[in-house]
Chain A
Amino acid sequence: MGKYLLTRLLYVLPSLLGVLIICFFLTRLSGDPTHLFMPVDATDEALAAFRAKHGLDRSLPEQFWLFVYNALQGDFGNSLRFSVPAMNLVAERLPATLELAMATLLIAVTIGIPLGVMAAYWRGRPIDTGIRYLAALGQSVPTFYWGIVSIIVLALWMRLLPTGGRDGLTSLVLPATTLATTMMALIIRVTRSSMLNVIEQDYIRTARAKGQTEFVVVVRHALGNSIIPVITVIALQFGVLLGGVVVTETVFSWPGVGRLAIQAIYARDYPVVQAVVLFFAVVFVFANLVADVLYSFVDPRVRLK
């Protein structure tokens, strides 16, 4: 197990290098940010000084090398806007985003998996049809739309929940449920189809022939064998979740990394953009690493010798 983990960790390195490369060149594509930060009437000397200060006067390969060298030490340079280390800004916003992401994951999993199981177990019955409609709705309506509608209905009209901000559990409900809908819908669909396949298997019949109760047959024997695709989807959806974080945080004025990213992009504050993108990429890569490790816990056939 330890060795498996170590090998799997090594596989992470090329992915991260790729992320560094893409992240560096994408931000450079938008051009020289010097004019954005300097007054219109700035002298050539002042512009040159700004470029020298931020290393913009060097060649691209040189800049890249410096970028990687510093990034590996967690240094993404100072924010052009706030003149504080970019990573500090990300770290500051991190708890809010983690809170939102975890709440979202919790909602999506605890509602999505049981609904998927129920839909599969009662296939073709009204309850299955209902759950499938729900999943189709959740998947087809965009996150920002859910967000705005829920703000209007629940916050403005019914005044049940705050419209935004981060102030206790009540303010978490709307952004988390909004963000959870897409993921939950997908989890429902994947759980359902995976369960439908497993429930036909011979070992399910064996479990029943043993005299096992339907609940245990479904949860231990069927769900246990259906869960791998669900884990895969959750890990892959982590990317979509992070994208959703950006939108949702903006809609609900949630002071997290996603909103920081949007603000940094508008301001062409590329050290911050790089730090956020790299942070998201690292989270995504590690989410998939966690999924791989989970597989081997769930299914003994995955365990490497």
Chain B
Amino acid sequence: MAETLLDVRNLSTAFVNGSKKVTVVDDVSFSVAPGRTLAIVGESGCGKSILSLSMIRLVPDTARTVGQILMDGEDLAAVSPQRMRQIRGGKIGMIFQEPMTSLNPIMTVGAQLSEALKLHVPELNAAERHERAVEGLRRVRLPAPEAQFHRYPHELSGGMRQRVMIAMALSCEPELLIADEPTTALDVTVQAEILALLGDLQRDTGMAVILITHDLGVVAEFADEVMVMYAGRIVERGTVGEILSDPQHPYTIGLMGSIPRFGSDDRLLAIEGTVPALSAMPPGCRFAPRCVFAVPRCAGESPVLREVTAGHAVSCHFAPLEDNL
């Protein structure tokens, strides 16, 4: 890999409550190159949202994060709160899952866009800010951007609000966009539009995107690299082609089996059991209790993430499966 924009090393986030400590993100390392898209995939509660919030240090007070988050040689985990505020919304834009509730209901769309500009591009005067905000709304293909500027969030549909969120996240030309389930709450047709829009904007700006999703269809369409998370850990990492056509971790294989395919009469495969509670994780492989290939060793010994081919890493004692089973 040539350039690296973001390099996350051994990031862990734990919630501490008195003497109880629950690790939600466990020793995660990955990197993103400029202009590329990394998809973080996993089911609800696997720690992917907390991971994204950890990167911009917006986890709740009760959470503790350790590890390094290197961006342009700067460790975001160690910078001052003031510097972190410059980075949030400046170098890193973020959009969230819930467009319906992610905008402040008592401020106009324009005021919320201008707020970000005022913080990160202070040299603009009011007229230039207005112009740039309207331009931002036009860029996300909102109809009548000049009129939208004066509207309140409740006057917009979910898709329109997500466009406003995108416009806001991109208003200060971030190098990295973190999109946490940006289309989950939207209609399927709106989903496709928003994804197409994100793709176009990424091509135009050259920004890197971290896309957090549980939707493998979205991954196939949009991602360059994929990282699969299970119970707070990375279980598999590789290019989108490798992950989708040659999944190596039993969990990833299970995820693939659970996607309905058009024209196929096969039954959908479900992964048996449920994710263990974070406070009661098995000492070995966290997927072992649900894994069809599990042997006694899996329950006691935690597998390490290792490359099976260049760039394709799997956290399983048996990887690559073709050779070892």
Contacts and interface: CB of A to CB of B under 8 A. Distances in A.
A209 interface: yes
A142 to B, nearest CB: 37
B120 A203 contact: no
B94 to A, nearest CB: 4
Interface residues of A, number: 20
A203 to B, nearest CB: 4
Given A202-B98, A206-B96, A212 B103 contact: no
A210 B168 contact: yes
B217 to A, nearest CB: 25
Nearest to B103: A203
- The listed residue with most B CB atoms (<10 A of its CB), out of A206, A213, A300, is A206
A210 B106 contact: no
Interface in B86-138: 86-90, 93-94, 96, 98, 101-108, 115-116, 119-120
Contact of A211 (B103, B119, B152): B119
Interface in A123-177: none
B103 A209 contact: no
Contacts of A203: 101-105
A49 B42 CA distance: 93
A211 B120 contact: yes
A208 B106 contact: no
B248 to A, nearest CB: 35
Interface in A63-90: none
Given A209-B58, A210-B116, A301-B152, A202 B102 contact: yes
- The listed residue with most B CB atoms (<10 A of its CB), out of A203, A205, A298, is A203
Interface in A193-222: 201-203, 205-213, 220-221
Contacts of B108: 300
B96 to A, nearest CB: 6
B85 interface: yes
Interface residues of B, number: 29
A18 interface: no
A225 B102 contact: no
B165 interface: yes
A202 B152 CA distance: 16
B21 interface: no
Contacts of B102: 202-203, 205-206
B50 interface: no
A207 B104 contact: yes
Given A201-B101, A202-B101, A206-B103, A211 B96 contact: no
B207 to A, nearest CB: 16
A224 interface: yes
A210 B89 contact: yes
B85 A225 contact: no
A98 to B, nearest CB: 31
Contacts of A224: 104, 106-107
A210 B119 contact: yes
A213 to B, nearest CB: 7
A299 interface: yes
A298 B104 contact: no
B56 interface: yes
Contacts of B106: 224-225, 298-300
B101 A208 contact: no
A220 to B, nearest CB: 8
Given A202-B96, A206-B168, 12 more contacts: A206-B102, A209-B93, A209-B94, A209-B96, A211-B89, A211-B116, A212-B85, A212-B115, A221-B107, A224-B104, A225-B106, A298-B106
Interface of B: 56, 58, 85-90, 93-94, 96, 98, 101-108, 115-116, 119-120, 152, 154, 165, 168-169
Interface of A: 201-203, 205-213, 220-221, 224-225, 298-301
* Complex A-B, nearest 10 residue pairs according to Cβ-Cβ distance, in ascending order: A211-B89, A210-B89, A211-B88, A202-B101, A209-B94, A211-B85, A203-B104, A202-B102, A300-B152, A210-B116
